[in-house]
Structure 1
Amino acid sequence: METERQETQLPRSVGLWQLVFYGSGTILGAGIFVVIGEVLGEAGRLTPLAYVLAAVVAITSALSFAEMGARIPTAGGPIDYLERAFGVRWLGSGVGWVLMVANTVSAATIVTGFVAYLNSFASVPDWTATVLLVIALGGVAIAGMSESAWLMTITTLIGIAALLAVLWALRGALIAAPTEILAALGTGTNEEAENAASSSAIEGFGMLFAGAILAVYSFIGFGDMAQTAEEVRDVKRSLPRAMMISLAVVFVFYILIAMSLVGTGEIDSITEASAPLVKAVELSGWPGLPIAIASLFVIVNGALTQIIAASRLLLDIARDDRGAPALFARVNEKTDTPIPATLVIAGTSLGLALLVPLKSLAEATSFAILIVFVGVNLSLIRMKRDSQPDDVPDIPFWIPVVGAIVTIAALVGQIAQSSIGGSG
């Protein structure tokens, strides 16, 4: 029986609020539960400021993505943005492969984080948990986009409830956080200033920058939302609005949670923990098990979204003959999903999750995503100089300019930091 159709159009089955929860879930799952411990380890008491710097990089690029997604609502996202803006096919193809790799590596990153949280309350071999989770996520991604979006709506609500519980348990630490941050900046009391003076200003900036580079990873989910463009109803209105709402929600949570962790005064213990939020809650005298269980739901969101986004990119690369076999362009007529593409992305994510450490995965993802951000910002600059359609958001011209500058600076900084670290 013929189960693969030759046309590769995806049905528009996702509404605004489904997309908001889809985006919020993946951004929170990737950053606040998985990577925040690594950011805390790099930036210390300056972690909230690291998230602010990362947000500057992310928000300017997100606004560019919002307009570009409305101008060119395709599953290829940045592939088509660059090609249409500059008229050079290899640019689109190159960024498509980079972004697909980034999404795949990101899925592995989040799977690794899931296993760490699971092991905080259940003794399950890492490889067993990793294999079972990736199989389950691949199955959901194959089942359908609407089904995936509804699942993520439910799990995101559970995750938000867990974060609110964390903030309540750490409310005293949240109040104490400004004092800790000021002390780290050397602007507190005399005694605090003397303690802070032991670290040079250059070292402090290095810690802040290193934390910010990792924190950029925490915001990348808005780019994954662009890959759903072919599956969103009223895409020119819904996609930009959903991106902005999702970013606003997660930014508030990132800053509040980061401040709460800093305010505990137990940064070393939290950083060393496999499940940082669970450890922080337990240090405050609250049971960590409910938070650990709830965290698993929202962490799953992040990995599922990355697999979906990467499979859509592989589909677009294959159907446009950009170097991937035509097999990956096939969309199953029963599930309306690209099953071959989903299977290869899930399999690759599984291998990475089993073999590569979490921090290395996050750093590699951040680097690749920053390259894509540069390309999207430059594409919008080029297209806005040519024309401004009436039916898409009109982002001020200076925003993609600033977005390009800060993402290039972040790329240069990450390269410099890696060179210093490698030679040190």
Structure 2
Amino acid sequence: MSGTLQEPRSGGLRRDVGLLQLVFYGSGTILGAGIFVVVGEVLSEAGHLAPLAYLLAAIVAITSALSFAEVAARIPTSGGPIDYLERAFGLRWLGSATGWTLMVANTVSAATIVTGFVAYLSSFAPVPDWLATSLLVVALVGIAIAGMNESAWLMTVTTVIGIATLLVVLFALRDGLWAAPGAVLEGIAGGGGEGGASAAGLGGLFAGAILAVYSFIGFGDMAQTAEEVRDVKRTMPRAMMISLAIVFVFYLAISGALVGTGSLQAIAEAEAPLVAAVEAVGWPGLPIAVASLFIIVNGALTQIIASSRLLLDIARDGRGAPSALAAISSRTRTPVLATLLVGAVVLTLALLVPLKSLAEATSFAILLVFVGVNLRSSR
């Protein structure tokens, strides 16, 4: 297990990532997972209370991110919470259990985002789902193997495209955005009708919040780049807070704008909720659908990278994975075998498991890890 701040092992991962790249890396994966893929599911559960569901999820995420930021600066390893919890409680089995739990969560999360990507693609391109899924996973695995620096710069470009797309969506739905406070208050009062509190109630609010937690989990993936970040002690905490601030503003604004449109059921049931929303107000959906694909890709790429780093750490520390999975390419400085294995599992899940089931499983697993890391930081 790694010690305090140190350079990577000889022949190991390389510190290539700076503050700007890490902010875009984090913002891109969080937005890609939450606002383009799962927002329809949150609306379906919480109705007019969806912005409050995102607010509750943000509270959980921010408190956990503060813990992650503090501990990641002290223990900068690619295993992240594996090492945090083992050191905090002195229990090797707890670190190992955390590692495998996170492996499940991140791998399932990657499959969730791939499924969301294919749903958006199918809204305008008649490509068979199995083919689109397979091609996407193969491409993402190839990028992840190419190198961390290359992946981070690609995500910087795609995140800029995604943020610009969200700004266009907010402009198109500006009437809904202005109407959002009244719609939320109506939902709280129980008079929301379609999707209102009378339909969703507190149960729907909390169910939506559980799903919305999934929308914030990218900050945990940021922690797992610790062995590849320059000046990690200063860069990691700053990047996490900046990324969460950016995405929270967008989550609150987008969910509010959708609630304010008054067409919750149609939007919630759409395969591409933001595309359906802008088309409902007379804007062309195709440009939004195409641009959305860029930022959705970010989330899937990040989850594959995070999963491969977890598997690397599990393998090199002898936690139940073959030691061969800890091998790092001398040319790309990435764990090639671990990345290929993760890609194969992601492809299988994306082809066989429904989106909502994937998101719920991911949220539950990551909540367990959040609890453990927060306990560690309080010790």
Using structure 1 for the length normalisation, give the TM-score.
0.86
Find out whether 1:62 has 2:65 as its counterpart. yes
Change (3 A) 1:296 1:239: same
Alignment match, 1:164: 167
- The equivalences for 1:172-211 within 5 A come to 172-186=175-189, 204-211=201-208
What is the one-letter code of the residue matched to 2:292? Answer: S
Cα distance in 1 between the residues matched to 2:221 and 2:323: 23
CA deviations over 1:54-93 (Å, ceiling 9, x no partner): 0011110000000000010000100100111111111111
Q: Contact (CA 8 Å) 1:185, 1:196: kept in 2 or not?
A: no
Matches within 5 A, 1:222-233: 222-233=219-230
**CA displacement at 1:9 relative to structure 2:** 2.2
Structure 2 match to 1:318: 315
- Residue identity in the other structure for 1:103: N
Residues of 1 paired with 2:85 and 2:137: CA distance? 32
- Counterpart of 1:332 (choices 329, 333, 341) is 329
Match of 2:28 among 25, 28, 32: 25
Figure out how many residues of one structure are paired with residues of the other and give that number. Answer: 371
Distance verdict in 2 for CA 1:206–1:194, change over 3 Å: closer
1:36-60 deviation per Cα after TM superposition (whole angstroms, max 9, x unaligned): 0000000001000000000011110
Residue matched to 2:126: 123
Deviations 1:284-318 (A, max 9, x none): 11011111001000000000000000000000000
- Aligned ranges 1:28-39 → 2 under 5 Å: 28-39=31-42
Give the Cα–Cα distance (whole angstroms) in 1 for the partners of residues 275 and 197 of structure 2: 32
1:282 paired with 2:285, answer no
Aligned match of 1:372 = 369
Instruction: Give the conservation status (yes or no) of the 8 Å contact 2:188–2:196.
Output: no
Per the TM alignment, residue 195 of structure 1 is displaced from its structure 2 partner at its CA by 6.3
Distance 1:30 1:56 in 2: 18
AA aligned to 2:162 is G
Which residue of structure 2 aligns with residue 3 of structure 1? none
Q: Identify which of 10, 13, 17 aligns with 2:16.
A: 13
Give the counterpart letter for 1:21 in structure 2: F
1:93 counterpart letter in structure 2? S
Instruction: Give the distance between the partners of 2:210 and 2:195, measured in 1 at CA.
Output: 24
Gap change, CA 1:175 and 1:301, over 3 Å in 2: same
> 1:270–1:199: structure 2 CA closer, same or farther, 3 Å change rule?
closer
CA distance in 2, matches of 1:340, 1:185: 51
Flag structure 1 segments of 5+ consecutive residues without an equivalent: 1-5, 187-192, 383-424
Letter in 2 for 1:172: D
What is the SS of the residue equivalent to 1:265? Answer: coil
Instruction: Determine the structure 1 residue equivalent to 2:156.
Output: 153
The residue type paired with residue 270 of structure 2 is A
1:358 CA displacement:
0.2
Worse-superposed segment, 195-204 or 14-23: 195-204
| Per-residue deviation, 1:198 | 12
Q: 1:317 to 1:274 in 2, by over 3 A?
A: same
Whole-angstrom distance in 2 between the partners of 1:197 and 1:107: 32
CA contact (8 A) 2:191 2:198 kept: no
SS of residue paired to 1:252: helix
The separation in 2 between residues aligned to 1:285 and 1:292, in whole angstroms, is 15
Aligned equivalents of 1:181 and 1:215: distance in 2? 17
Aligned partners of 1:7 and 1:331 also within 8 Å? no
Tell me the secondary structure at the aligned position of residue 66 of structure 2. helix
Deviation at residue 200 of structure 1 after TM alignment: 7.5
Q: In structure 2, do the counterparts of structure 1 residues 266 and 12 end up closer, same or farther at CA, with 3 Å as the change threshold?
A: same
C-alpha distance in 1 between matches for 2:306 and 2:127: 29
For the residues of structure 2 that align with 1:195 and 1:140, how far apart are their CA atoms?
46
Structure 2 unaligned runs (5+)? 1-8
Q: Distance in 1 between matches of 2:362 and 2:312?
A: 20
Q: 1:407 maps to what in 2?
A: none
**Corresponding residue number in structure 2 for 1:75:** 78
Aligned mate of 2:242, from 234, 242, 245: 245
Q: Secondary structure at the match of 2:51?
A: helix
2:45 and 2:286 map into 1 onto residues whose CA distance is 27
Is contact 1:8-1:330 (8 Å) kept?
Answer: no
Matched-pair contact (CA < 8 Å) for 2:81–2:98: yes
In the alignment, is residue 135 of structure 1 matched against residue 141 of structure 2? no
What is the CA distance between 1:378 and its match in structure 2?
A: 1.1
Q: Give the aligned residue type for 1:120.
A: S
> Quick one: which of 40, 45, 52 aligns to 2:48?
45
| Contact 2:45 2:200 survives alignment (8 Å) | no
Compared with structure 1, are the counterparts of its residues 35 and 318 closer, same or farther at alpha carbon in structure 2 (3 Å cutoff)?
A: same
Counterpart secondary structure, 1:106: helix
Q: Residues 180 and 262 of structure 1 are in contact (CA less than 8 Å); yes or no, is this contact kept in structure 2?
A: yes
Check the 8 A contact 2:47/2:197 in 1, yes or no.
Answer: no
The correspondence of residues 338-357 of structure 1 with structure 2, limited to 5 A, is 338-357=335-354
- How far apart, in 1, do the equivalents of 2:138 and 2:225 lie? 22
